[in-house]
A and B are shown apart, each in its own frame.
Chain A
Amino acid sequence: MWPPIEISDIYLGSLVLGLFYGLSLCAPSCLPHITSYIAGVGAGLRRALAITATYNVGRITAYTLVGSLAYMFKLLIDDVNIRPYQSYASIAFGLVTIIIGASLLKRGDKSCQCSLHDASSFHKNNVFGKVDAGSFAMGLTRGLIICPPLMTLLIYGVTAPNPLNPLLMAFLFGLGTTLSPIFLLGGIAGWLLNKATLWKKWIRLAGAGILLILGISAMLSSLVIL
């Protein structure tokens, strides 16, 4: 057996913690949302990867934001304040998911009237052409919900004299989580679903419908806690 690895550098530790979290706990909680969104927009392999990347950028932004806010409002990181914060963040995430689901549901009928050629050119123009606002918003609001390892990092980080400390730690943690199996699963799902061109309308409707359900369930569960 190898001896346990000790990581003395806190920044490297944050990155590694994010990496492990991204490879394990983080992936299944994000997978239903990401794959539903990929199905909902009718993305192929490249666009699915771009969506997953944008989602992750949204999460990193949120983590960094949470890190800087944690330093400014140190009161946030205690048991009394964190519960309502988590519930409100969860409600925001649910709300964004519902809005995205509803807009995809509305757009689904219109965009599926186009021919196959139009659909493929639509995707080509959108692969790297502009930022996918939906997946970014979803990642951003998802990242606002503070997960247990990030919470531990922030509790440690806010005690440091340097205000950049929690911010950098949260950023590196987020960066670590980007290496996640959802890249692989989202990419494969997009690649496979994109082959079923005649089912595109139904796939989009199903993806949008699932997003709506996920959003409503996230909101309801948070409201119950509140």
Chain B
Amino acid sequence: MLETISTILKIIIAAGLISMGILAILIWVRDRTKRVTCLRIFIQAASIPLIFLGLIVGPFGLPQYPQVGNAPRDIVIGTEIFGRPFPDGLSVPVLACWYPSGRTVTCPIWQMQAYLYPFWETGVGFGWGIIYTTTGLERLAIVFGLVILMALLLGRAFCGWICPFGFYMDLLSYIRRAFGRPYRKMSDKVNVALKQLRYVIIAAFMIISVILGSKAIFGVQLVSGTEKGGYLYSYASAPYCQVCPMRPLCVLCEVAIGAMNSTFVFSHTKGLFYEAGYYITSINMAVLVFVTISALAYRRLWCRICPLGGLTGLFSRFPPFKKISLLRLEKDKEKCTKCGICKRVCPPQIKEVYEKEGGDVTTSACILCLRCIEMCPYDDCLKLTLAGKIMFKSRNWLESN
């Protein structure tokens, strides 16, 4: 009981500090072309401790390997949904990797893949040493339900404002800017191709997950090693996570701050290039290095191909979800002079805000960072609405500055 009260108090204090920070930014940042960006950076930075709150307020949790100290899932805030434990954390459409310690929320892509494996089962174990009281179907329903709900509420604003990997991408852009180097622009064709690649990645990993999990789902083993206790069951039950750049970034950061036991982590990371490790694989590392170097040149590079962003986009910008999604970027065609600023400042290089005549100009690739609204020099030309209510709108910053 005391622990719960203490946690609630800590969360209230954290929320209070964040609110004060937001107010301070709005009061002190006078340059109107930087106010939204400053607010966004602050929220991104504040989201990281919230996502990994278990490192601060824990441990509450599930000591899987007490003999080796802090290992993944040693410190995790258990979640309850409808009175039933949901030990992997709530599904929020941000790359909040499942593998490191202390996370309060979890990447839904991991959950969707992993829950296919012990599809019908409850109980102890099943590869991850976690006790589930819900069946695989219930877990999948919770994950899809939460993702659809959140996508309908905030769309890809999660990518622009909360995702830790998006913040990492932004930091790399700021580093480049600190050296006075301008951004590089991708050709439109390559940019569109990258955005479309998200759907290929989602489709490919959906099919791969079902094939690898066929033993658990259909009772027929299509690939050897996918049986319980098999090599692929243990290591590749979440195939996308074997290539995701967020996993090594999270794990290495936590190893660096001492939140994860380096000996334990690296003892599970073995083998040659083709061999999968549990926490970090060679492929993971190669993707992270490639994305890091490329993101120094191109803004928000990963966000253009991120399958999680694609999934959030699917559930917010495509029929039938498009009609009921609450967050929209709207344009007043009477006030737009086609100056092209919105197109130039957009981090993922979206053209639709510039090209579309007016009305709802949100696209599935838009991360709703609101840089276009911030930089648009015409009063009320661009605005962000939540359920029809205006949240942000463009201002004539030329005069006010």
Q: Is the pair A195, B218 in contact by a Cβ cutoff of 8 Å?
A: no
Q: List chain A residues, Cβ under 8 A from B211.
A: 28, 31-32
Q: What is the interface size of chain B, counting residues whose CB is below 8 A from a CB of the partner?
A: 19
Q: List chain A residues, Cβ under 8 A from B207.
A: 31-32, 35, 185, 189
Stretch at the interface among B57-65, B140-148, B192-200, B392-400: B192-200
Q: List chain A residues, Cβ under 8 A from B218.
A: 24-25, 27-28
The yes or no answer to B220 lying at the interface (CB within 8 A) is yes
The yes or no answer to A29 lying at the interface (CB within 8 A) is yes
The yes or no answer to B214 lying at the interface (CB within 8 A) is yes
Q: Is the pair A196, B199 in contact by a Cβ cutoff of 8 Å?
A: yes
CB nearest neighbor in B for A26: B218
Q: List chain B residues, Cβ under 8 A from A35.
A: 207
For B204-217 the 0/1 string (1 means CB < 8 A from A) is 00110011001001
Give the distance in Å from the alpha carbon of A199 to the alpha carbon of B192 in the complex. 10
Minimum distance in angstroms from A204 CB to a CB of chain B: 12
Give the distance in Å from the alpha carbon of A31 to the alpha carbon of B211 in the complex. 8
Q: List chain A residues, Cβ under 8 A from B210.
A: 28, 31, 185
Q: Is the pair A25, B220 in contact by a Cβ cutoff of 8 Å?
A: yes
Give the distance in Å from the alpha carbon of A188 to the alpha carbon of B203 in the complex. 8
Give the distance in Å from the alpha carbon of A220 to the alpha carbon of B206 in the complex. 28
The yes or no answer to B336 lying at the interface (CB within 8 A) is no
Give the distance in Å from the alpha carbon of A124 to the alpha carbon of B193 in the complex. 23
CB nearest neighbor in B for A39: B203
Minimum distance in angstroms from A192 CB to a CB of chain B: 4
The yes or no answer to B84 lying at the interface (CB within 8 A) is no
A193 contact from B192, B199, B220, Cβ within 8 A: B199
Q: List chain A residues, Cβ under 8 A from B192.
A: 198
The yes or no answer to B180 lying at the interface (CB within 8 A) is no
Q: List chain B residues, Cβ under 8 A from A60.
A: none
Q: List chain B residues, Cβ under 8 A from A198.
A: 189, 192-193, 196
State whether A196 and B197 are in contact (beta carbons under 8 Å apart), knowing that A24-B219, A28-B220 are contacts in the complex.
yes
Q: List chain B residues, Cβ under 8 A from A31.
A: 207, 210-211, 214
The yes or no answer to B293 lying at the interface (CB within 8 A) is no
CB nearest neighbor in A for B196: A196
For A180-200 the 0/1 string (1 means CB < 8 A from B) is 000001001100110111110
Q: List chain A residues, Cβ under 8 A from B41.
A: none
Give the distance in Å from the alpha carbon of A188 to the alpha carbon of B315 in the complex. 13
Minimum distance in angstroms from A113 CB to a CB of chain B: 16
Give the distance in Å from the alpha carbon of A24 to the alpha carbon of B119 in the complex. 13
Minimum distance in angstroms from A25 CB to a CB of chain B: 5
Minimum distance in angstroms from A19 CB to a CB of chain B: 14
CB nearest neighbor in A for B217: A28
Minimum distance in angstroms from B216 CB to a CB of chain A: 11
Give the distance in Å from the alpha carbon of A189 to the alpha carbon of B206 in the complex. 8
The yes or no answer to A167 lying at the interface (CB within 8 A) is no
Q: Is the pair B200, A193 in contact by a Cβ cutoff of 8 Å?
A: yes
Q: List chain B residues, Cβ under 8 A from A193.
A: 199-200, 203
Q: Is the pair B203, A25 in contact by a Cβ cutoff of 8 Å?
A: no
Give the distance in Å from the alpha carbon of A189 to the alpha carbon of B207 in the complex. 8
For A138-169 the 0/1 string (1 means CB < 8 A from B) is 00000000000000000000000000000000
For B175-205 the 0/1 string (1 means CB < 8 A from A) is 0000000000000010011001101101100
B206 contact from A27, A29, A185, A199, Cβ within 8 A: A185
Q: Is the pair B220, A199 in contact by a Cβ cutoff of 8 Å?
A: no
Give the distance in Å from the alpha carbon of A32 to the alpha carbon of B214 in the complex. 11
Q: Is the pair B214, A192 in contact by a Cβ cutoff of 8 Å?
A: no
The yes or no answer to A203 lying at the interface (CB within 8 A) is yes
Q: A24-B218, A28-B220, A199-B197 are in contact. List 18 more A-B contacts (CB 8 A).
A: A24-B219, A24-B220, A28-B210, A28-B218, A28-B222, A29-B220, A29-B222, A31-B207, A31-B210, A31-B214, A32-B222, A185-B210, A188-B203, A188-B206, A192-B200, A195-B196, A196-B200, A198-B193
| Residues of B bordering A, CB below 8 Å | 189, 192-193, 196-197, 199-200, 202-203, 206-207, 210-211, 214, 217-220, 222
